[in-house]
Chain A
Amino acid sequence: MTDTVVAQQTPSPEAPKPERRQSWWKSDSAEPVRRNLGLVGVLVVLVIIGIVTRPELYGDATWVRNNIFTILQQASAIGVVTVGMTFVIIGGGIDLSVGAIIAVAGVWSTTLATQSYGAGGMIFTAIVVGVAVGLINGVLISYGRLVPFIATLAMMVAARGLAAQISGKQTQVSTNSTINGIATTKILGIPLLVIILGLVVAAGWVLLNRTTFGRRTVAIGGNPEAARLAGINVKLHTVFLYALSGLCCGIAALMLTSQATSAQAAMANLYELDAIAAAIIGGTLLSGGRGTIIGALFGVLVFSTITNLFAINNLSTEVQNMVKGGIIVAAVLVQQFRYKSLSNLLGRKTS
């Protein structure tokens, strides 16, 4: 089948065992690992800055543990969205409607009528609405031949409108204790929201790296025409990618609803930009065909840690936004520089 062809084109990190360790380190397949180490380095630097600026807080072990969980919980909803976004971007698309999908799923699942069906009804509604909106995106892009940017931009506007229509522009309070409890529950001392994030990231990693679905996604993003000629149903696969992003938004909508114990049409404001930024600094190529789930997770964590660092030092959010912008630019610059120097290196070797 075609899968084997694709698999040969994009070897997994373990496949080509080079003789010397250093050459694997420099090889193309080690690129994601090195990039992730770079992001871990950034995280370590941020924590060190935190320790230096607020030593009295970091001296307290309970506070540090709470702080780590706070950072992870703040990252949880956006992290789940970023997993879906990473798939879409690797597949050569973009989804600008994620924030709006969260709003419409959140609002729809917290109407009085839905809440009367209990937690099960709310979860069902959020997930199905998320997937359905994602499917509409996918069908418009695949079969309506709209450019992803335009289709999801239109959906961003329309879905916010629908959310405002359903909610009557009011904040809808969730009175369901099971849903609200998601944000307060801890399992073995770990907040449930963090566990959900972990599960979604793990599932995303397996789906991308260990299934034909993931390999096909990479193939389509790398070269859609080649993928089509290799026998992949590119259109149907693209629909699935947007539905997957919608599914992630539905899950995130529940997480946010639980955290805020309410939903409204203006919720998850600008999440699309945060998710795209996190995916990009995690090493996902905006043109598609390359990217990692773990990198995207680190991208989210870097942003979340910066927010935390600025909060504990009482610095203004204006400066914080400038720093965030700087980090995005720096990450892409580093990416390009590495990619160029790497291809130069490889080019010299082969010639």
Chain B
Amino acid sequence: MTNLNRRRVLFGGAAVGAGALLSACTSNTPAENTQVNTNQDTEANPNAAPGQKVIIGFSAPAADHGWIAAITNNAKAQAQAYSDVEFRSVEAGADAAAQRAALSTLIAQKPNVIVLLPHDGKELNAAGLQAMQAGIPVVNLDRAFPDPKAYRLQIKGDNFGMGVAAGTYIGEQLKAKGVAKPIIGEIPGIDSLELTQERSAGFKQALATFGFTVANRRPAEFTADSGQRAASDLLQALPKMDAVWNHDDDQGIGVLAAVNQANRKEFFMVGGAGSKAAIDAITADNSVLKATVTYSPSMASSAISLARLIGQGKGMSDLVELQVPKEITLASETITKENAAKYAKLGF
């Protein structure tokens, strides 16, 4: 028994020591990387001058992915850059029901404008309507409400266009190289999502204009480890490949790792979304990643700027209209080595 006690004391001491050592290891402050642009020059942009105070309510799903985290960070940073904006963020929780509840409390606080990235556009449509009926304009970010009455402004990325941009880049490159029957792979994100299907449809159509098809398609789950698995399978299935499109740069970390582990170099890769790591890799030009097509979280920064204008009843100064338009779809741009420097500040 005494033996056991001594052992326990030893184990206990070791455990306490390890715990103390480990708790020091959770500190983790990577450089904040947000996209803020308020165009402060009041001469060129009269909208930048501080105006009537606007309270902006904000809600986005709890981030489990770099892109969503960037959306929240951007919105916060952009709001802070305006002296006349008060930013009220509510945690949207883990699912649509939790976000609906969070939105009711937000509506009760009567902000001037609500910026909302819903868990699911269809499921949160009613919440958007409710806010609009309460007299609060809703800026619907990225995941679209089907009912136009549920939003004042819809600003979103172009998933189909992203696929088209990737397909066009790959098609042009392969045509230029004179590859007659290229073998093209595709690594989408979570396959059951509508956005994935739209991206794949755009990719397929763009390739079809060149007479090319996708030889193999292995979906991952937007995480690096799933990207690594999907890419390993894809590389095994296609011993010789000419090009591959990976839908998401976050899972692309794993895809690139798998490519290195398999020691394959005969093809080029196009990414998606436009993360900082991907843009850096394209600039360095020392991996198979040669381009990425954007789906930029900078749209959250723009959404806050436009929400401020809506709250103040102003229009966009470059346009003739006196009010902010109702729908804005960002173009998906192709980042290559040539223009990477310009996009570096937009990487997340």
Contact = CB atoms under 8 A, between A and B. Distances in A.
Interface stretch (A30-38, A144-152, A168-176, A342-350): A168-176
Contacts of A66: 236, 262
Given A168-B28, A168-B30, A173-B277, 14 more contacts: A66-B236, A74-B233, A124-B18, A170-B69, A171-B224, A260-B228, A260-B253, A262-B254, A266-B64, A266-B65, A266-B222, A266-B223, A311-B218, A318-B191
Nearest to A62: B239
Contacts of A260: 223-225, 227-228, 253-254, 257
Contact of B261 (A111, A183, A256, A308): A183
A154 B338 CA distance: 50
Contacts of A129: 22
Contacts of B26: 108, 111, 113, 166
Contacts of A265: 64
A111 B28 contact: yes
B130 to A, nearest CB: 28
Given A111-B28, A168-B28, A311 B237 contact: yes
A73 B231 CA distance: 13
Interface residues of B, number: 49
Interface of A: 57, 60, 63, 66-67, 70, 73-74, 108, 111-114, 117, 121, 124-125, 128-129, 132, 164, 166-173, 180, 183-184, 256, 259-269, 307-308, 311-314, 316-318
A184 to B, nearest CB: 5
B6 to A, nearest CB: 16
Contacts of B237: 311-314
Interface in B214-258: 215-219, 221-229, 232-234, 236-237, 239, 250, 253-254, 256-258
Interface of B: 15, 18-19, 22, 24-30, 62-66, 68-69, 191, 215-219, 221-229, 232-234, 236-237, 239, 250, 253-254, 256-258, 260-262, 277
B140 to A, nearest CB: 22
Nearest to B234: A311
A259 B225 contact: yes
A171 B257 contact: no
A125 B64 contact: no
Contacts of B29: 112
B186 to A, nearest CB: 10
B190 to A, nearest CB: 10
Determine the main DSSP class of A at the interface with B: helix
Nearest to B70: A170
A128 B27 contact: no
Most chain B beta carbons < 10 A, residue from A170, A313, A316: A170
Given A184-B261, A307-B233, A166 B28 contact: yes
B236 A111 contact: no
Contacts of B30: 112, 168, 170
A124 B223 CA distance: 24
A49 B122 CA distance: 43
Contacts of B225: 256, 259-260, 267-268
Given A132-B15, A171-B250, A311 B233 contact: yes
B27 A73 contact: no
Contacts of A60: 239
A269 B234 contact: no
Nearest to B24: A113
Contacts of A307: 229, 233
> What 3 A-B pairs are tightest by C-beta distance, nearest first?
A311-B233, A169-B63, A260-B224
Nearest to A77: B225
Contact of A114 (B25, B215, B258): B25
24 contacts: A108-B22, A111-B27, A129-B22, A164-B64, A169-B66, A170-B30, A173-B277, A180-B257, A183-B257, A183-B261, A259-B225, A260-B225, A260-B253, A260-B257, A264-B250, A266-B64, A266-B221, A267-B223, A267-B225, A269-B226, A311-B234, A314-B217, A314-B237, A316-B191
Given A169-B63, A184-B260, A314-B215, A262 B253 contact: yes
Contacts of A318: 191
Given A173-B253, A314-B215, A259 B223 contact: no
Contact of A125 (B25, B218, B262): B25
B228 A259 contact: yes
Contacts of B260: 184
B257 A113 contact: no
B229 A121 contact: no
A171 B239 contact: no
Contacts of A267: 223-225
Contacts of A261: 224, 253-254, 256-257
A314 B216 contact: yes
A278 to B, nearest CB: 16
Most chain A beta carbons < 10 A, residue from B66, B69, B223, B260: B223
A269 B223 contact: yes
A184 B256 CA distance: 13
Contacts of B254: 259-262
Contacts of A171: 66, 223-224, 250, 253
Contacts of A259: 225, 228, 254, 257-258, 261
